[in-house]
Structure 1
Amino acid sequence: MSDALDHPQLTSHRYRLTTADGVGIDSVLLRGAPGRTAAVVLANGFTGSHRSPHIRAIAESFGSIADVMTFDFRGHHGSGGHSTVGNAEIHDLEAVVSHLRGLGYTSIAAVGFSMGAAVVVRHAAVYGGVAAAVSISAPSRWYYRGTRRMRLIHLGVGRTAGRFFLRSFRKVRVTDHSWQDRPAEPREIAGEVSPTPLLVVHGEADTYFPTSHATAIYEAAAEPRELWLVPGMGHAERAVSPELALRLRSWLRERLPLD
């Protein structure tokens, strides 16, 4: 594989988007060769950002086959509003996908990590219209406290002191309101993603969610679907190795009509 393919010349374009419920979303589009009609959206995990070097590395890898848009979920870093930890964030992803359609992209894939993966599954099921959906390190159900790391997350979002820490040190503003209406869990709604291809990826060394979450989503989904359980892989975007990024890129290339 040539260096030109692995390291395309990408130009960065910043956009301030507005969701259907009026929240400002900070986003960046990385563009390659002119005239492309395929794009990939990367949806971060909780506390993640488009500024992350991990997201940037994945975006640059995918940039050889499509333009890539990254963004900050509501309440995160440069975006407005408050994080609802996976509920209203579905509007954020739809704002990004709609913006790409407005720019002329006709084939759009969504790739999400952890919280962003749950949003990608829900978005593909509720809104549809994407060419492919990739869920990496997703929870299959809400309120999971089965690992130490998830118990700490719940302390962080559920207590005033925890939200203060997140706001002060992670630049994440979390709402102090609980969900009024619980959205469908990824495992409950995965069957509605079809006929969009769904790829479920999970690390066997994930310390947030065990692999049973991935198998629950996969088993609930209809064809076309795939499940990759990756030995030694940890959690979310930080755990995506260059080798896994290449494998994901190949999977996306087969499902996106490329120019």
Structure 2
Amino acid sequence: MPLAATFSATLMTKDGVRIDAAHTPSRGDAGLGIVLAHGFTGSWREPTTRRIAHVLSGFGGVVAFDFRGHGRSGGLSTVGDAEVLDMDAAVVHARSVGYARVATVGFSMGAAVAVRHAALHGGTDAVVAVSGPARWYYRGTRPMRQVHWAIEKAPGRLAARLAKRTRIRSTSWDPVPLAPHEAVARVSPAPLLIVHGDADHFFPLEHAHQLFEAAREPKELWIEPGYGHAESAATPDLVRRIGRWISRLSPAREVDR
């Protein structure tokens, strides 16, 4: 089946950053919008993210976007801090095109942003955090040590810009933003779903458990056997199960995906 049609959009954040976005209209519940947030160095234009948007559009309309410093969006990446403003712009856009209920789905860095956005800005009816970190500065795996090299060192930032079109701010956080495990309790009363793979090579399961233990009800934790990390490892079956979980907001006929 060909991917669902998408319509490009340009959003503006409250701090004046232009955000490249796309709207995939709902093929399921016309009143449900899903804001889809990619991981670090990702983009809504990548095939993996577009396939996820296509599957989710069987349950509700999807607004996908590029975080600041990524792809065709403006600004510089702050790796999870100011990105809450990018997600807020996407949530506002989803409301403006007519979705009465809006859920956010974030992968990896996007998961951290989804949690922090719901805690700090609200305006969401459900939150799904997939493969997300619980805390900052984690270097316990080789991939995360490589990520920190890309963020903290000038040669790493150059490599990220040339290879992945990701422009990263050179200055460090000041102050350090509220970490996901510190923010997650504020997501309630919106339902929270935490999804993590037992084969995640970036963040081990301790991150998922730390988030879940700090969260308040209503909450669910799915530990997925054999699942790796973020968008690239997400199967259509897993994405459909996430879509069904979100659709509990307003049960509607499921369409073919």
Please tell me the TM-score bracket, short chain as reference: over 0.9
**Does 1:18 find its partner at 2:12?**
yes
SS at match of 1:68: strand
2:211 corresponds in structure 1 to 217
User: How many residues are paired up?
Assistant: 253
Structure 2 counterpart of 1:193, one-letter code: V
SS at match of 1:86: coil
Structure 1 counterpart of 2:136, one-letter code: W
**CA apart distance, 1:10:** 3.3
SS at match of 1:11: coil
In the alignment, the residues of structure 2 paired with residue 36 and residue 101 of structure 1 have an alpha-carbon distance, to the nearest angstrom, of: 12
Contact preservation (8 Å) 1:110, 1:134: yes
Q: 1:34 to 1:141 in 2, by over 3 A?
A: closer
Structure 2 counterpart of 1:52, one-letter code: E
Structure 2 counterpart of 1:195, one-letter code: P
Q: TM-score, normalised by structure 2?
A: 0.95
2:24 corresponds in structure 1 to 30
Q: 1:214 to 1:35 in 2, by over 3 A?
A: closer
**CA apart distance, 1:257:** 5.9
Structure 1 counterpart of 2:129, one-letter code: S
SS at match of 1:255: coil
Q: Select which of 109, 116, 126 maps to 1:115.
A: 109
**CA apart distance, 1:256:** 3.9
Q: 1:34 to 1:132 in 2, by over 3 A?
A: closer
**CA apart distance, 1:8:** 9.0
SS at match of 1:202: strand
The alignment yields a C-alpha RMSD, in angstroms, of: 1.6
Gaps of 5+ in 1: 1-6
**Does 1:40 find its partner at 2:60?**
no
> What are the residue-to-residue correspondences of 1:44-193 with 2, within 5 Å?
44-193=38-187
Q: 1:133 to 1:35 in 2, by over 3 A?
A: closer
Deviates further, 190-199 or 124-133: 124-133
Runs of 4+ in 1 over 3 A off after TM superposition: 7-10, 32-35, 256-259
SS at match of 1:118: helix
Contact preservation (8 Å) 2:28, 2:57: no
Q: 1:88 to 1:160 in 2, by over 3 A?
A: same
In the alignment, the residues of structure 1 paired with residue 4 and residue 147 of structure 2 have an alpha-carbon distance, to the nearest angstrom, of: 35
**CA apart distance, 1:205:** 0.3
In the alignment, the residues of structure 1 paired with residue 14 and residue 218 of structure 2 have an alpha-carbon distance, to the nearest angstrom, of: 30
Q: TM-score, normalised by structure 1?
A: 0.94
SS at match of 2:105: strand
**CA apart distance, 1:9:** 7.8
**CA apart distance, 1:14:** 0.7
Q: Map Cα deviations across residues 95-130 of structure 1 (whole Å, 9 max, x no partner).
A: 010111122211000000000000000011111121
Contact preservation (8 Å) 1:8, 1:60: no
Contact preservation (8 Å) 1:37, 1:258: no
In the alignment, the residues of structure 1 paired with residue 226 and residue 158 of structure 2 have an alpha-carbon distance, to the nearest angstrom, of: 33
**CA apart distance, 1:37:** 2.1
Contact preservation (8 Å) 2:27, 2:57: no
SS at match of 2:6: strand
In the alignment, the residues of structure 2 paired with residue 65 and residue 115 of structure 1 have an alpha-carbon distance, to the nearest angstrom, of: 24
**CA apart distance, 1:34:** 10
Structure 2 counterpart of 1:196, one-letter code: A
Gaps of 5+ in 2: none
In the alignment, the residues of structure 1 paired with residue 81 and residue 207 of structure 2 have an alpha-carbon distance, to the nearest angstrom, of: 18
**CA apart distance, 1:258:** 4.8
SS at match of 2:112: helix
